[in-house]
Amino acid sequence: DAGVIQSPRHEVTEMGQEVTLRCKPISGHNSLFWYRQTMMRGLELLIYFNNNVPIDDSGMPEDRFSAKMPNASFSTLKIQPSEPRDSAVYFCASSFGLGGAYGYTFGSGTRLTVV
Amino acid sequence: KNEVEQSPQNLTAQEGEFITINCSYSVGISALHWLQQHPGGGIVSLFMLSSGKKKHGRLIATINIQEKHSSLHITASHPRDSAVYICAVLREFETSGSRLTFGEGTQLTVNP
């Protein structure tokens, strides 16, 4: 298995533009997590899905952020409009079981820079 | 006070030294993870443990549930061990299953 695959690896965009981050979880994993990592706040959970259904989105910063999981093999995190304070590394992780009780596999992350 | 606290925040060692990174938590957990993150790199799960001790190569992780404390040890450290090590605890929530809560990480630098 290729692991959790995120794209793009790096994204530089101008303030106000729409940004879409993509994630392909490990086949067979039924929980998917989006995390954001910044120097100031460390790793924060944004949202997680179980069996393609959002279970907890309390970490999503505001309405500019949205996430979808249309099927078991694909998820997107969208920011519209983007702002400089959204600059961070965004990680996707997947696991088996509700909430990742059986271990996690992280993707390589997407480094987002909003200028 | 953070629910998960790591110490030290930064650690510099000479190649070959024995290294210990500590993690204390203040909440009930079902498991604890040690994660490794290299500069500019992804996050790798090193261990998931709920009791006792686990060993993988030069890495050893221990946990004391009663004292709410875990340690990550690296024996015979090497410059390639230089990374950020993150402690994360798995907590159970009644309606939403389990979630990870992360420590702030320990930046380890091993000099040759």
Q: What is the DSSP letter of B81?
A: G
Decide if pLDDT at B98 tops 80: no
Contacts of A111 in chain B (CB under 8 A): 40
Closest Cα in chain A, distance from residue B95 (Å):
9
- pLDDT tens, position by position, A100-115: 666 789 999 999 999 9
Whether residue A46 is predicted with pLDDT greater than 80 in this model: the reply is yes
User: What pLDDT, on the 0 to 100 scale, is given for residue A99?
Assistant: 61
Closest CA in chain B for residue A3: B44
- Under the banding of pLDDT at 50, 70 and 90, the label for residue A56 is confident
Return the residue of B nearest to A107 by Cα.
Answer: B42
**Residue B42 with chain A: CB contacts under 8 Å:** 91, 106-109
Report which residue type is found at A74: F
pLDDT at B13 > cutoff 70: yes
Which two structure tokens, joined as six digits, stand for B77?
Answer: 């450290």
pLDDT > 90? residue A16? yes
Mean pLDDT of A22-40: 93
Considering only alpha carbons, which residue of chain A is nearest residue B93?
A: A99
Average pLDDT over residues A88-98: 89
Tell me the DSSP string of A42-88.
EEEEEEEEETTEEEE-TT--STTEEEEEEETTEEEEEESS--GGG-E
- Can you tell me the distance from the alpha carbon of B85 to that of B59, in angstroms, rounded to the nearest whole number? 12
What is the pLDDT, as a whole number, of residue A1?
Answer: 62
pLDDT > 90? residue A98: no
Which of A42, A108, A109 is nearest residue B102 as measured by Cβ atoms? A42
* B9 in reach of chain A (CB within 8 A): no
How confident is the model at residue A68, as a pLDDT? Answer: 97
Length of chain B: 112
Reported confidence tier of residue B92, pLDDT bands at 50, 70, 90: confident
